[in-house]
Each structure stands twice: as C-alpha cells, then as structure tokens.
Amino acid sequence: MSCWNIAFDGIQGRTGGLSQKRVVSAEHCFVLPDDVDLRLGALVEPMAVAWRGVRQAAVAPGDAVLILGGGPNGSASTSR
C-alpha cells in the first residue's frame, strides 16, 4: 500500500532540501562515526536504495538487466 501523503525534502514543497544548510528535527538525523568521511557518509542513503533494489530484483551473476538512470541509485545498482 502506498502513502499518498509522503513528501521528500528538496522535491515537494518549499523545504530547502537543496540548500547548503538546513534545520531539521533531531529525530531525522544520524551521527556518523568519527572515522567515516562526510563524503562517504553522504552516499549511505543512495547506496542503500540501490542495494535494496538489486536484492528485490533477485538478479544473479550473468543475468541481463536494464538500469534506467545514471544518477547515484542507477550507477550503484550496477556494482553488485
């Protein structure tokens, strides 16, 4: 079942999701360990989305697949 009321920062409304700085609720924040570079930490969400998509597709080595989109999710989906 889909939620029709869901909204994403930076996509719907005037949330400022693409701003350099943003105020968000603490419940939506996760602290990275000190040894994780912020550039690597920024990839956690898109890589998790790509990984979940690949797992749900149940592809195996040697399977032919079509990846649409060259953004972080599409690019990460090819690195299984």
For residue range 29-42, what is the model confidence (pLDDT) as tens digits? 888 999 999 988 98
Q: Does any domain span residue 52?
A: yes
Q: Does any domain span residue 53?
A: yes
The DSSP result for the chain, as a single string, is: ---TT---TTTSSS--TTSSS----GGG--PPPTTS-HHHHTTHHHHHHHHHHHHHHT--TT--------SHHHHHHT--
Range of the domain at 44: 26-60
Is it the case that residue 56 has pLDDT exceeding 80? yes
User: With 0-12 CB in 10 A as exposed, 13-18 as middle and 19+ as buried, what is 3?
Assistant: exposed
Q: Does any domain span residue 51?
A: yes
What's the total number of domains in the chain?
A: 1
Average pLDDT over residues 51-76: 81
* pTM for the full predicted model: 0.54
The pLDDT of residue 35 is 95
Q: Does any domain span residue 54?
A: yes
Q: Does any domain span residue 68?
A: no
Q: Does any domain span residue 36?
A: yes
Q: Does any domain span residue 43?
A: yes
Q: Does any domain span residue 40?
A: yes
